[in-house]
Structure 1
Amino acid sequence: MSQHRPGVNFQVIMEAKDYDNISQLSPAFLAYIGDAVYELYVRTSYLFPPRKVRDYHNQVVAQVRAETQAKALQRLTPYLTTVEQDIVRRGRNAATGCPRRLQPEIYQQATSLETLIGYLYLQDTHRLRELLETLIP
């Protein structure tokens, strides 16, 4: 049974994980983790200067929208390694259940970005931070 550990901060969360078989995890699982990691990163990126919560919310929502994530993936693509490109491809091919308001290609690209972020969160947090900082300095 897992215990809640109060006081765990983002730095601790971002420390390297010890997972041996990440390549066996489904792209859907990686995207699920990646979605959470990306939103947390974006939220913490907008903390300064202090603003109203509504302003934070509007900025974060603008960054985590599928359309913005698709553009972010396009900006990152030239810098991705072969392994990262393969993870992106797996995420794109696994994307299902596209919301009606989105074009399927946009949804696939956003899911691909989340899959990559989930993979890097579990595999290489230094590389994850490097890529995220190019998106949101």
Structure 2
Amino acid sequence: MVSQIDQNSSPLTIKWQEVNILTLAYLGDAVYELWVRSHLLTKGIAKVEDLHKAAVHYVQARFQASLLKLILPELDETETGVVKRGRNAKGHHPRNIDVVTYRHATAFEALVGYWYLAGCEERMQGIFSRIDDLTVQIDSEQ
């Protein structure tokens, strides 16, 4: 359970270690989604329909799982621990995706949630800045 939060404080005062791993993934999903939408706007995509279509590619579980696979060797011990906890978390998964892929996507989202709560903005942005290059690699493998 999340510890008591001071009403006047930033969300970064929450200790990531005290947050349930699925809650960390829930937060990471929102942070990543916001980054994706902002990123697509900076690429000059202006129509909402086009933005949505492009965003779906970035946020689908299969893509997130593939992205995690590519960055896994670069992760430090703490990040790897978060990924393992996220991957092993027992939650409900959609019927349209296999459980292994879904758990790896959850692990990626938990990692993003960790970066956000731990204040690892530079680390997170460093990985995010490479996503377009990694997308080319992921798309060629699928």
Matches within 5 A, 1:45-56: 45-47=39-41, 48-56=43-51
Gaps of 5+ in 1: 4-12
Residue identity (%) = 35
Higher relative contact order, chain-length normalized (CA < 8 Å, sep 6+):
1
Show CA shifts across 1:26-85 (max 9, x none): 101100100000000000001132431101110001110001101110111111111100
RMSD of aligned C-alpha atoms? 2.1
State the TM-score, normalizing by the size of structure 1.
0.83
1:121 aligns with 2:116: yes
| Structure 1 runs (4+) greater than 3 angstroms displaced | none
1:89 to 84, 91, 94: 84
Quote the Cα distance in structure 1 between the aligned partners of 2:57 and 2:21.
Answer: 24
1:31 to 25, 34, 38: 25
Quote the Cα distance in structure 2 between the aligned partners of 1:56 and 1:17.
Answer: 29
Alpha-carbon shift at residue 93 of structure 1 (Å): 0.8
Alpha-carbon shift at residue 2 of structure 1 (Å): 6.0
Gaps of 5+ in 2: 1-5, 134-142
State the TM-score, normalizing by the size of structure 2.
0.80
**What is the aligned partner in structure 1 of residue 136 from structure 2?**
none
**What amino acid maps onto 2:95 in structure 1?**
R
Alpha-carbon shift at residue 17 of structure 1 (Å): 2.7
Alpha-carbon shift at residue 94 of structure 1 (Å): 0.8
Matches within 5 A, 1:1-137: 17-19=12-14, 21-47=15-41, 48-123=43-118, 124-136=120-132
